[in-house]
Structure 1
Protein backbone atom coordinates (compact mmCIF):
# COMPACT_ATOMS: atom_id res chain seq x y z
CA UNK A 1 0.00 0.00 0.00
CA UNK A 2 2.81 2.37 0.82
CA UNK A 3 4.42 1.75 -2.53
CA UNK A 4 1.13 2.37 -4.32
CA UNK A 5 0.60 5.60 -2.38
CA UNK A 6 4.07 6.81 -3.22
CA UNK A 7 3.51 5.96 -6.88
CA UNK A 8 0.22 7.86 -6.96
CA UNK A 9 1.83 10.87 -5.37
CA UNK A 10 4.62 10.75 -7.95
CA UNK A 11 2.10 10.61 -10.80
CA UNK A 12 0.12 13.51 -9.41
CA UNK A 13 3.24 15.60 -8.95
CA UNK A 14 4.39 14.80 -12.48
CA UNK A 15 1.01 15.79 -13.85
CA UNK A 16 1.04 19.06 -11.93
CA UNK A 17 4.55 19.86 -13.12
CA UNK A 18 3.55 19.08 -16.71
CA UNK A 19 0.45 21.33 -16.46
CA UNK A 20 2.55 24.08 -14.94
CA UNK A 21 5.03 23.87 -17.80
CA UNK A 22 2.22 23.94 -20.37
CA UNK A 23 0.69 26.96 -18.67
CA UNK A 24 4.02 28.75 -18.65
CA UNK A 25 4.49 27.90 -22.34
CA UNK A 26 1.05 29.32 -23.22
CA UNK A 27 1.73 32.46 -21.20
CA UNK A 28 5.05 32.96 -22.95
CA UNK A 29 3.39 32.56 -26.37
CA UNK A 30 0.76 35.15 -25.50
CA UNK A 31 3.44 37.51 -24.24
CA UNK A 32 5.37 37.10 -27.50
CA UNK A 33 2.23 37.73 -29.56
CA UNK A 34 1.50 40.85 -27.52
CA UNK A 35 5.07 42.08 -28.00
CA UNK A 36 4.88 41.50 -31.75
CA UNK A 37 1.58 43.42 -31.93
CA UNK A 38 3.05 46.28 -29.93
CA UNK A 39 6.20 46.34 -32.05
CA UNK A 40 4.09 46.58 -35.25
CA UNK A 41 2.02 49.40 -33.72
CA UNK A 42 5.21 51.21 -32.73
CA UNK A 43 6.65 50.84 -36.25
CA UNK A 44 3.45 52.29 -37.74
CA UNK A 45 3.53 55.20 -35.31
CA UNK A 46 7.20 55.76 -36.16
CA UNK A 47 6.31 55.98 -39.88
CA UNK A 48 3.56 58.49 -39.15
CA UNK A 49 5.93 60.54 -36.99
CA UNK A 50 8.49 60.62 -39.82
CA UNK A 51 5.79 61.68 -42.30
CA UNK A 52 4.60 64.46 -39.97
CA UNK A 53 8.18 65.57 -39.43
CA UNK A 54 8.64 65.81 -43.21
CA UNK A 55 5.45 67.85 -43.63
CA UNK A 56 6.42 70.09 -40.73
CA UNK A 57 9.88 70.69 -42.18
CA UNK A 58 8.35 71.52 -45.57
CA UNK A 59 5.94 73.97 -43.94
CA UNK A 60 8.75 75.54 -41.94
CA UNK A 61 10.82 75.97 -45.11
CA UNK A 62 7.83 77.57 -46.87
CA UNK A 63 7.21 79.90 -43.92
CA UNK A 64 10.89 80.85 -43.81
CA UNK A 65 10.82 81.73 -47.51
CA UNK A 66 7.70 83.85 -46.99
CA UNK A 67 9.35 85.65 -44.09
CA UNK A 68 12.45 86.31 -46.20
CA UNK A 69 10.25 87.65 -49.00
CA UNK A 70 8.39 89.92 -46.56
CA UNK A 71 11.70 91.13 -45.19
CA UNK A 72 12.98 91.92 -48.69
CA UNK A 73 9.77 93.80 -49.56
CA UNK A 74 9.90 95.74 -46.30
CA UNK A 75 13.52 96.70 -46.94
CA UNK A 76 12.69 97.86 -50.48
CA UNK A 77 9.76 99.94 -49.26
CA UNK A 78 11.85 101.53 -46.53
CA UNK A 79 14.61 102.35 -49.01
CA UNK A 80 12.26 103.86 -51.60
CA UNK A 81 8.58 103.63 -50.66
CA UNK A 82 7.34 105.90 -53.46
CA UNK A 83 9.00 103.95 -56.25
CA UNK A 84 7.82 100.61 -54.83
CA UNK A 85 4.22 101.81 -54.51
CA UNK A 86 4.05 102.78 -58.22
CA UNK A 87 4.52 99.28 -59.59
CA UNK A 88 0.91 98.38 -60.38
CA UNK A 89 -0.35 98.23 -63.96
CA UNK A 90 -1.43 95.85 -66.71
CA UNK A 91 -2.64 95.47 -70.29
CA UNK A 92 -4.06 92.22 -71.65
CA UNK A 93 -5.75 91.29 -74.91
CA UNK A 94 -8.05 88.55 -76.17
CA UNK A 95 -6.10 86.20 -78.43
CA UNK A 96 -9.04 84.07 -79.65
CA UNK A 97 -12.72 84.78 -80.24
CA UNK A 98 -15.09 84.11 -77.36
CA UNK A 99 -18.37 82.57 -78.58
CA UNK A 100 -21.68 81.65 -76.97
CA UNK A 101 -21.22 84.00 -74.02
CA UNK A 102 -23.48 83.39 -71.04
CA UNK A 103 -25.17 86.04 -68.91
CA UNK A 104 -22.57 88.03 -66.92
CA UNK A 105 -19.76 85.80 -68.18
CA UNK A 106 -16.29 87.24 -67.59
CA UNK A 107 -14.19 87.99 -70.66
CA UNK A 108 -10.78 86.36 -70.27
CA UNK A 109 -8.10 88.58 -71.76
CA UNK A 110 -5.55 85.81 -71.90
CA UNK A 111 -2.57 87.39 -73.67
CA UNK A 112 -0.49 89.52 -71.30
CA UNK A 113 1.14 92.64 -72.75
CA UNK A 114 2.15 94.16 -69.40
CA UNK A 115 1.48 92.92 -65.88
CA UNK A 116 3.51 94.95 -63.40
CA UNK A 117 3.11 93.35 -59.98
CA UNK A 118 1.17 90.40 -61.45
CA UNK A 119 -2.15 91.57 -59.99
CA UNK A 120 -4.12 90.74 -63.15
CA UNK A 121 -4.95 87.06 -63.74
CA UNK A 122 -5.26 85.89 -67.37
CA UNK A 123 -6.92 82.70 -66.09
CA UNK A 124 -9.88 84.53 -64.53
CA UNK A 125 -9.74 87.92 -66.28
CA UNK A 126 -9.77 89.61 -62.86
CA UNK A 127 -7.57 92.40 -61.49
CA UNK A 128 -7.17 92.31 -57.70
CA UNK A 129 -6.12 95.50 -55.89
CA UNK A 130 -2.91 94.93 -53.90
CA UNK A 131 -3.29 98.12 -51.81
CA UNK A 132 -5.84 100.82 -51.01
CA UNK A 133 -5.48 103.31 -53.85
CA UNK A 134 -7.10 105.08 -56.80
CA UNK A 135 -6.94 103.18 -60.10
CA UNK A 136 -7.75 103.85 -63.75
CA UNK A 137 -9.29 101.13 -65.97
CA UNK A 138 -10.21 101.03 -69.65
CA UNK A 139 -11.56 98.40 -72.02
CA UNK A 140 -12.15 98.17 -75.76
CA UNK A 141 -14.37 95.33 -76.98
CA UNK A 142 -14.94 94.44 -80.64
CA UNK A 143 -18.12 92.75 -81.82
CA UNK A 144 -18.34 90.34 -84.75
CA UNK A 145 -19.48 91.39 -88.21
CA UNK A 146 -23.01 92.85 -88.20
CA UNK A 147 -23.67 91.74 -84.59
CA UNK A 148 -24.56 93.65 -81.45
CA UNK A 149 -22.59 93.29 -78.21
CA UNK A 150 -22.92 94.85 -74.77
CA UNK A 151 -20.25 94.52 -72.09
CA UNK A 152 -19.35 96.28 -68.83
CA UNK A 153 -16.54 96.98 -66.39
CA UNK A 154 -17.52 95.80 -62.91
CA UNK A 155 -16.12 96.24 -59.42
CA UNK A 156 -16.77 93.29 -57.10
CA UNK A 157 -19.57 92.20 -59.43
CA UNK A 158 -21.26 95.65 -59.52
CA UNK A 159 -21.54 97.50 -62.84
CA UNK A 160 -19.45 100.68 -63.16
CA UNK A 161 -19.54 101.55 -66.89
CA UNK A 162 -21.04 100.01 -70.05
CA UNK A 163 -19.71 99.40 -73.56
CA UNK A 164 -21.85 98.87 -76.65
CA UNK A 165 -20.97 98.04 -80.25
CA UNK A 166 -23.11 97.41 -83.35
CA UNK A 167 -22.60 98.16 -87.01
CA UNK A 168 -22.81 96.63 -90.46
CA UNK A 169 -19.14 95.74 -90.02
CA UNK A 170 -16.86 95.05 -87.06
CA UNK A 171 -17.28 97.68 -84.36
CA UNK A 172 -15.60 98.44 -81.03
CA UNK A 173 -17.20 99.64 -77.84
CA UNK A 174 -14.86 101.42 -75.41
CA UNK A 175 -15.07 103.03 -71.99
CA UNK A 176 -12.96 103.89 -68.97
CA UNK A 177 -13.42 104.54 -65.26
CA UNK A 178 -11.48 105.80 -62.23
CA UNK A 179 -12.13 103.76 -59.09
CA UNK A 180 -11.09 103.94 -55.47
CA UNK A 181 -10.28 100.39 -54.41
CA UNK A 182 -9.51 98.73 -51.12
CA UNK A 183 -7.03 95.91 -50.89
CA UNK A 184 -8.64 92.74 -52.26
CA UNK A 185 -11.26 94.53 -54.38
CA UNK A 186 -11.70 92.96 -57.83
CA UNK A 187 -12.31 94.55 -61.23
CA UNK A 188 -13.06 92.77 -64.51
CA UNK A 189 -14.92 93.02 -67.82
CA UNK A 190 -17.98 90.86 -68.48
CA UNK A 191 -20.81 90.27 -70.93
CA UNK A 192 -24.13 91.80 -69.90
CA UNK A 193 -27.49 90.07 -69.93
CA UNK A 194 -28.32 88.57 -73.33
CA UNK A 195 -27.14 91.39 -75.62
CA UNK A 196 -24.88 89.59 -78.08
CA UNK A 197 -22.96 86.36 -77.61
CA UNK A 198 -19.59 86.86 -79.35
CA UNK A 199 -16.42 88.84 -78.65
CA UNK A 200 -13.89 89.34 -81.44
CA UNK A 201 -10.35 88.33 -80.47
CA UNK A 202 -7.06 88.44 -82.42
CA UNK A 203 -5.88 91.31 -80.21
CA UNK A 204 -8.78 93.64 -81.09
CA UNK A 205 -10.35 93.43 -77.61
CA UNK A 206 -8.24 94.73 -74.70
CA UNK A 207 -8.39 95.48 -70.96
CA UNK A 208 -5.97 97.82 -69.14
CA UNK A 209 -5.53 99.34 -65.72
CA UNK A 210 -3.01 101.07 -63.48
CA UNK A 211 -2.74 102.80 -60.13
CA UNK A 212 -3.04 106.59 -60.17
CA UNK A 213 -2.25 107.44 -56.54
CA UNK A 214 -2.22 106.02 -53.03
CA UNK A 215 -5.11 106.81 -50.71
Structure 2
Protein backbone atom coordinates (compact mmCIF):
# COMPACT_ATOMS: atom_id res chain seq x y z
CA UNK A 1 0.00 0.00 0.00
CA UNK A 2 2.84 2.38 0.88
CA UNK A 3 4.49 1.60 -2.45
CA UNK A 4 1.34 2.56 -4.36
CA UNK A 5 1.02 5.85 -2.44
CA UNK A 6 4.66 6.76 -3.13
CA UNK A 7 4.29 5.97 -6.83
CA UNK A 8 1.08 8.01 -7.14
CA UNK A 9 2.73 10.97 -5.39
CA UNK A 10 5.73 10.66 -7.72
CA UNK A 11 3.46 10.73 -10.77
CA UNK A 12 1.66 13.80 -9.51
CA UNK A 13 4.92 15.49 -8.55
CA UNK A 14 6.59 14.73 -11.86
CA UNK A 15 3.40 15.57 -13.83
CA UNK A 16 4.30 12.78 -16.19
CA UNK A 17 6.96 15.02 -17.78
CA UNK A 18 10.06 13.36 -16.40
CA UNK A 19 9.83 9.57 -16.63
CA UNK A 20 13.46 9.10 -15.59
CA UNK A 21 12.79 10.59 -12.11
CA UNK A 22 9.86 8.24 -11.75
CA UNK A 23 11.99 5.21 -12.78
CA UNK A 24 14.78 6.24 -10.37
CA UNK A 25 12.27 6.52 -7.56
CA UNK A 26 10.83 3.09 -8.36
CA UNK A 27 14.36 1.56 -8.34
CA UNK A 28 15.10 3.14 -4.96
CA UNK A 29 11.84 1.78 -3.55
CA UNK A 30 12.64 -1.71 -4.83
CA UNK A 31 16.15 -1.55 -3.30
CA UNK A 32 14.80 -0.36 0.07
CA UNK A 33 12.14 -3.08 0.16
CA UNK A 34 14.80 -5.72 -0.57
CA UNK A 35 17.06 -4.36 2.20
CA UNK A 36 14.11 -4.34 4.61
CA UNK A 37 13.29 -8.00 3.86
CA UNK A 38 16.96 -8.94 4.34
CA UNK A 39 17.04 -7.20 7.74
CA UNK A 40 13.86 -8.95 8.85
CA UNK A 41 15.27 -12.37 7.93
CA UNK A 42 18.58 -11.68 9.70
CA UNK A 43 16.82 -10.51 12.88
CA UNK A 44 14.56 -13.57 12.92
CA UNK A 45 17.55 -15.90 12.46
CA UNK A 46 19.46 -14.07 15.21
CA UNK A 47 16.61 -14.52 17.70
CA UNK A 48 16.09 -18.17 16.79
CA UNK A 49 19.72 -19.22 17.14
CA UNK A 50 21.24 -16.95 19.77
CA UNK A 51 23.76 -19.16 21.59
CA UNK A 52 24.27 -16.45 24.21
CA UNK A 53 20.75 -17.09 25.53
CA UNK A 54 20.47 -20.80 26.30
CA UNK A 55 17.23 -22.12 27.74
CA UNK A 56 17.36 -22.34 31.53
CA UNK A 57 14.07 -23.15 33.25
CA UNK A 58 12.71 -25.51 35.87
CA UNK A 59 9.44 -26.44 37.50
CA UNK A 60 9.16 -28.69 40.54
CA UNK A 61 6.57 -29.52 43.18
CA UNK A 62 6.16 -31.45 46.42
CA UNK A 63 4.85 -34.91 45.63
CA UNK A 64 3.78 -35.59 49.23
CA UNK A 65 3.08 -33.72 52.45
CA UNK A 66 6.05 -32.56 54.53
CA UNK A 67 5.90 -32.79 58.34
CA UNK A 68 7.61 -31.71 60.51
CA UNK A 69 9.45 -28.75 58.98
CA UNK A 70 12.19 -27.25 61.15
CA UNK A 71 13.20 -23.60 61.38
CA UNK A 72 15.40 -22.63 58.38
CA UNK A 73 14.96 -26.08 56.84
CA UNK A 74 15.13 -26.15 53.04
CA UNK A 75 11.87 -27.16 51.40
CA UNK A 76 12.84 -29.77 48.85
CA UNK A 77 10.52 -29.78 45.86
CA UNK A 78 11.23 -33.34 44.80
CA UNK A 79 9.02 -33.89 41.74
CA UNK A 80 10.53 -32.22 38.68
CA UNK A 81 8.32 -31.47 35.68
CA UNK A 82 10.90 -29.44 33.75
CA UNK A 83 14.63 -28.96 34.19
CA UNK A 84 15.93 -27.34 31.01
CA UNK A 85 19.61 -26.59 31.47
CA UNK A 86 19.83 -29.09 34.36
CA UNK A 87 20.23 -26.31 36.95
CA UNK A 88 17.70 -27.54 39.56
CA UNK A 89 18.78 -30.30 41.98
CA UNK A 90 15.71 -32.12 43.32
CA UNK A 91 17.80 -33.98 45.93
CA UNK A 92 18.65 -30.80 47.82
CA UNK A 93 15.95 -28.45 46.47
CA UNK A 94 18.38 -25.89 45.04
CA UNK A 95 18.74 -24.06 41.78
CA UNK A 96 22.34 -23.24 40.79
CA UNK A 97 22.73 -20.60 38.07
CA UNK A 98 24.66 -22.06 35.12
CA UNK A 99 25.13 -18.62 33.54
CA UNK A 100 24.99 -15.05 34.82
CA UNK A 101 21.86 -13.08 34.08
CA UNK A 102 18.40 -11.97 35.18
CA UNK A 103 16.20 -14.78 36.53
CA UNK A 104 12.59 -14.93 37.73
CA UNK A 105 11.47 -17.31 40.49
CA UNK A 106 8.10 -18.16 42.03
CA UNK A 107 7.61 -20.32 45.12
CA UNK A 108 4.32 -21.42 46.63
CA UNK A 109 3.63 -23.32 49.83
CA UNK A 110 0.26 -24.55 51.02
CA UNK A 111 -0.45 -24.90 54.74
CA UNK A 112 -1.98 -28.18 55.81
CA UNK A 113 -3.17 -27.68 59.33
CA UNK A 114 -4.59 -24.93 61.52
CA UNK A 115 -1.09 -23.42 61.69
CA UNK A 116 0.26 -20.98 59.16
CA UNK A 117 3.45 -21.76 57.30
CA UNK A 118 6.06 -19.05 56.68
CA UNK A 119 8.66 -19.47 53.99
CA UNK A 120 11.17 -17.43 52.07
CA UNK A 121 12.93 -17.50 48.74
CA UNK A 122 16.68 -17.37 49.37
CA UNK A 123 19.68 -16.42 47.24
CA UNK A 124 23.08 -17.46 48.59
CA UNK A 125 21.79 -17.36 52.18
CA UNK A 126 19.92 -14.02 52.02
CA UNK A 127 16.19 -13.88 51.59
CA UNK A 128 14.66 -12.36 48.46
CA UNK A 129 11.00 -12.44 49.49
CA UNK A 130 8.67 -14.12 51.96
CA UNK A 131 5.32 -15.81 51.76
CA UNK A 132 2.77 -17.27 54.15
CA UNK A 133 0.14 -19.94 53.94
CA UNK A 134 -2.34 -18.57 56.48
CA UNK A 135 -4.02 -20.33 59.40
CA UNK A 136 -6.96 -21.17 57.20
CA UNK A 137 -6.86 -24.85 56.37
CA UNK A 138 -5.04 -25.42 53.08
CA UNK A 139 -4.20 -21.79 52.34
CA UNK A 140 -1.46 -21.11 49.80
CA UNK A 141 1.20 -18.44 50.11
CA UNK A 142 3.26 -17.22 47.17
CA UNK A 143 6.56 -15.41 46.81
CA UNK A 144 8.03 -14.15 43.52
CA UNK A 145 11.31 -12.42 42.78
CA UNK A 146 13.25 -11.23 39.75
CA UNK A 147 16.96 -11.08 40.49
CA UNK A 148 20.40 -10.99 38.92
CA UNK A 149 22.47 -14.12 39.55
CA UNK A 150 26.14 -14.78 38.99
CA UNK A 151 27.36 -18.15 37.79
CA UNK A 152 27.05 -20.59 40.69
CA UNK A 153 24.57 -18.55 42.74
CA UNK A 154 22.13 -20.76 44.67
CA UNK A 155 18.40 -20.12 45.03
CA UNK A 156 16.12 -22.22 47.22
CA UNK A 157 13.06 -22.06 49.47
CA UNK A 158 13.17 -22.50 53.23
CA UNK A 159 10.83 -22.47 56.22
CA UNK A 160 11.76 -19.46 58.29
CA UNK A 161 9.46 -19.51 61.29
CA UNK A 162 9.16 -21.67 64.39
CA UNK A 163 5.39 -21.69 63.88
CA UNK A 164 3.68 -24.07 61.50
CA UNK A 165 5.27 -27.27 60.40
CA UNK A 166 2.88 -28.93 57.92
CA UNK A 167 3.20 -28.39 54.16
CA UNK A 168 0.68 -29.80 51.73
CA UNK A 169 2.23 -31.78 48.88
CA UNK A 170 0.47 -33.57 46.00
CA UNK A 171 1.40 -30.72 43.66
CA UNK A 172 -0.13 -27.94 45.79
CA UNK A 173 3.28 -26.48 46.67
CA UNK A 174 5.66 -25.61 43.83
CA UNK A 175 8.91 -23.87 42.92
CA UNK A 176 9.67 -22.56 39.43
CA UNK A 177 12.27 -20.37 37.80
CA UNK A 178 13.68 -19.34 34.45
CA UNK A 179 16.35 -17.22 32.83
CA UNK A 180 14.90 -13.94 31.58
CA UNK A 181 18.06 -12.48 30.04
CA UNK A 182 21.66 -13.69 29.96
CA UNK A 183 24.50 -11.21 30.58
Using structure 1 for the length normalisation, give the TM-score.
0.61
CA offset digits 1:97-143 (Å, max 9, x no partner): 11111111000100011100110000000000001110000011100
Distance 2:67 2:56 in 1: 31
Q: Kindly indicate which of the two structures has a greater share of residues assigned to strand.
A: 2
Q: Give the aligned partner of residue 182 of structure 2.
A: 214
Choose the corresponding residue for 1:116, options 84, 96, 121: 84
Distance 1:201 1:128 in 2: 23
* Structure with bigger RCO (C-alpha 8 Å, 6+ apart): 2
Distance 2:137 2:67 in 1: 17
Choose the corresponding residue for 2:156, options 161, 172, 188: 188
1:82: how far off?
1.6
Q: Give the aligned partner of residue 135 of structure 1.
A: 103
Distance 1:108 1:82 in 2: 33
Distance 1:136 1:103 in 2: 25
Report whether the alignment pairs 1:106 with 2:74.
yes
1:84: how far off?
6.2
Distance 2:143 2:178 in 1: 15
Q: Kindly indicate which of the two structures has a greater share of residues assigned to helix.
A: 1
Structure 1 stretches of 5 or more lacking a match? 1-79
Q: Give the aligned partner of residue 171 of structure 2.
A: 203
> Alignment partner of 1:146: what SS?
coil
Distance 2:95 2:136 in 1: 33
Q: Give the aligned partner of residue 50 of structure 2.
A: 82
Q: How many residues align?
A: 136
Report whether the alignment pairs 1:179 with 2:175.
no
Higher Rg of the two aligned structures: 1
Choose the corresponding residue for 2:113, options 119, 137, 145: 145
4+ long deviations beyond 4 Å: none
Structure 2 stretches of 5 or more lacking a match? 1-47
Q: Give the aligned partner of residue 155 of structure 1.
A: 123
Mapped contact 2:133–2:141 kept (Cα < 8 A):
yes
1:83: how far off?
4.7
1:92: how far off?
0.1
Using structure 2 for the length normalisation, give the TM-score.
0.71
